[in-house]
Structure formats: structure tokens, C-alpha cells
Amino acid sequence: MKTHHKMIAVHSSRPPVVEIDTESQSAYVRFSDNRVVNTISESEETGPLITIDLDQNKQVVGVELIGVQEFGIKALLHKAPVSVPPELLDKARYIAARKQRAMAAA
């Protein structure tokens, strides 16, 4: 079953930082360091679990994906209902997932 949400435009001037955890087959694509006040879900039975974190102004803070096989930015965001300027995607940085984030999610 899929939860449908309209496409959300990412309004960010900085390139995303992709936090990768290959052991848990998950990634977090961070667009800002703003405080998360709401999380919405976009899931399919056969695809990865996708959640989108929003700040108090309903701007995208980040996109979490669990159950992914490929970690390139375009592959990660392909199924997420977010629209990101291509010039930001081309400048994405990749880092290892923070241990405290992984522990908090457990």
C-alpha cells in the first residue's frame, strides 16, 4: 500500500549531504539543519521505506530511505516525492551515517 503525497519542492541553496549506512541499507539525504517538527511517509509494499522530515515552515529538512540497494543521489530520490534543483544534486556530498542518528532510530 502506498501513501500518496503531492510533490514537495526543496527550497535550499546548499547541496544535500547524503548520510549512508550500508549495513542497514539506509540513507538520509539532508537539505538543512533545521529542527524537524513533522515527518510524512511515502511507502510502497515492494520499495524502500521513505520518510520526509519537515521543519516548522513545512520545508524539507531531509529524506530518509530504508531498504535501498543503490546510494547515488538520483537513485535515492527517484521514488521520493521531492523536487530538487539538478544543480544541487550534482554537488551532493556523501558521508558515513552518524552513529548517534543510527542509534536513535533503533
Of 91, 75, 85, which Cα lies nearest the Cα of 27? 75
Question: pTM here?
Answer: 0.86
What does the pLDDT average to over 94-98?
Answer: 90
Whether the per-residue pLDDT at 73 is higher than 90: the answer is yes
What are the boundaries of each domain within the chain?
14-98
Question: pLDDT, tens digit, for every residue of 29-43?
Answer: 999 999 999 999 987
Q: What single string gives the DSSP state of each residue in 32-85?
A: --PPP-EEEEEE-SSS-EEEEEE-TTS-EEEEEEES-S--SHHHHHSSSSEE--
